[in-house]
Amino acid sequence: MSIVRLQKVLARAGVASRRAAEELIAAGRVRVDGRIVTELGTKVDARRARIEVNGQRIVAEPSAYVVLHKPRGVVSTMHDPQGRPSVRELLADAAVRVYPVGRLDFATSGVILATNDGDFAEALMHPRRAVPKTYVVKAQGAMEPKDLDVWRRGVELEDGRTLPAKVKLLRHEGDKTWIELVITEGRNQQIRRMGEATGFRVMRLARVAFAGITAEGLRPGEWRYLTADEQAKLKTEYGVPRRVVSPPARERRGARKGPPRDEHARDDRMSRDDRTPRDDRMPRGELGGRGGRSRTTGTGGGIGAGEGNFRVRGRRG
| Average pLDDT, consecutive stretches of 10 residues, N- to C-terminus, the chain (317 residues) | 80 70 93 95 88 87 91 93 94 89 95 89 92 98 98 97 98 98 95 98 98 97 97 97 84 42 40 42 34 35 40 47
Find out whether 188 and 209 touch, Cβ atoms under 8 Å.
no
**Strand, coil or helix: 292:** coil
Q: What is the model's pTM?
A: 0.72
189: left (phi over 0), alpha (psi -120 to 50) or beta: left
Q: Where are the alpha helices (DSSP H) in the chain?
A: 6-12, 18-26, 87-90, 118-125, 145-153, 190-198, 228-238
Q: Say what the pLDDT of residue 97 is.
A: 81
Instruction: Exactly one of 45, 93, 105, 279 is catalytic; name it.
Output: 105
* Cα separation of the two ends of the chain: 29
What pLDDT is recorded for position 291? Answer: 33
d(CA 114, CA 95): 12
Cα 243–Cα 306–Cα 134 angle in degrees, nearest 5: 80
Asked if 267 is an active-site residue, the reply is: no
Domains and CATH numbers, the chain: 3-62+286-312 (3.10.290.10), 132-208 (3.30.70.1560)
pLDDT of residue 241: 94
